[in-house]
Amino acid sequence: MTDAPTSPPAAQALAGIRVLDLSRVLAGPWATQTLGDLGADVIKIEKPGEGDDTRGWGPPWLADGEGNPTRESAYFLAANRNKRSVTIDMATPEGQGLIRRLAAMSDVVVENFKVGGLKRYGLDHESLAALNPRLVYCSITGFGQDGPEAGRAGYDFMIQGMSGLMSVTGSPDTEPQKVGVALVDILTGLNATIAILAALEQRHRTGCGQHIDVALFDVAVASLANQALNFLVGGGAPRRLGNAHPNIVPYQAFETGDGHLILAVGNDAQFARFCRLADLTELAADTRFATNRDRVAHREALIPFVAAALKRQTTGEWLAMLDAAGIPAGPINTIAQAFAEPQALARGLALNLSHPLGGSASGVRSPLRLSGSPGGAPTAPPLLGQHTDEVLEQLLGLSNIERQALRAAGIV
């Protein structure tokens, strides 16, 4: 009996796709990191001697193999795994020429300069599309390529405020709050990734690339989801409810006997089970609380009963009982506790990546898991210019003498 033939290792989904990354900070790098997670060859262009702004956004700093702090910031590490770093000064004609040559052999360009900022370098969409009509060119800006605010710089915090997101975040008794991470940048990076993948599929059918216009402001407003429609349909401006939900009750954080938990009752059957569990059976029969519509209308009357019941036992006791009853609930973890969750450990969410400075670089595993193209192990974010010689030699065919001359002139 012969052994069954084995299939060759599956290539990553975007193997063979080259991405020229002209972006920095977070939204653009998050998009290109996601493409790199899926197997694309991401070439990150950085300014010689300086690099991406976030390289200097520390502490904390990565430690080398001997435990000494380096100049590699945790912030930079968060958004730049699976990339090759090439230093090129795009302010020079020679640097512009090198980038144009790389663009001519790339599938995707991602940039997050101000509108028109790359035109003076001949690196705008129109210029590069003339060299490579198949190029998918993604521009990420604060406000988009047109409109009265198009020329303004956009930053996550500012956009959270302008978009209305902060008006529905935080307690009604305190000032509006931003989200604890730069969530608009992250969502913009993910939306840019979706658009890039769609454009690559369109190119597969037509042979032509296109220009993608993604704006932080557009993304933030679109991501208001039900809150946006609460306004557009209901007419009234949604208000801050702290940890409560505008459309579902009870669905918020509550104090327990020794801490807090999140109770997320999503339907009427779950509410009835909760009432039995919490010895509040009379509430399930109360017409004010029979349906979610009723509970939203009588939120202020219901919540004190639920709050008082939850204080009678500890968080751990409640979570065990609620889980057994099929009622959604969970703890409010610190980030350390989140990484220590059995589920996080089982899924391997924390990474230790071999780093060129010695030792390892911490990272977070990509949430994208494809059964047919799982791909290889992720690589650590690169040192500034780590792959300059490799890319210039392998892709552009520059000799050692030519590379040394460019380096001596400060171009790479």
Catalytic residue of the set 185, 218, 323, 389: 185
107 in active site? no
3-state SS track over the chain: CCCCCCCCCCCCCCCCCEEEEECCCCHHHHHHHHHHHCCCEEEEEECCCCCCHHHHCCCCEEECCCCCEEEEEHHHHHCCCCEEEEECCCCCHHHHHHHHHHHHCCCEEEECCCCCCCHHHCCCHHHHHHHCCCCEEEEEECCCCCCCCCCCCCCHHHHHHHCCCHHHCCCCCCCCCCCCCCHHHHHHHHHHHHHHHHHHHHHHHHCCCEEEEEEHHHHHHHCCHHHHHHHHHHCCCCCCCCCCCCCCCCEEEEECCCCEEEEECCCHHHHHHHHHHCCCHHHHHCCCCCCHHHHHHCHHHHHHHHHHHHCCCCHHHHHHHHHHCCCCEEECCCHHHHHHCHHHHHHCCEEEEECCCCCEEEEECCCCCCCCCCCCCCCCCCCCCCCHHHHHHHCCCCCHHHHHHHHHCCCC
Active site residues: 185
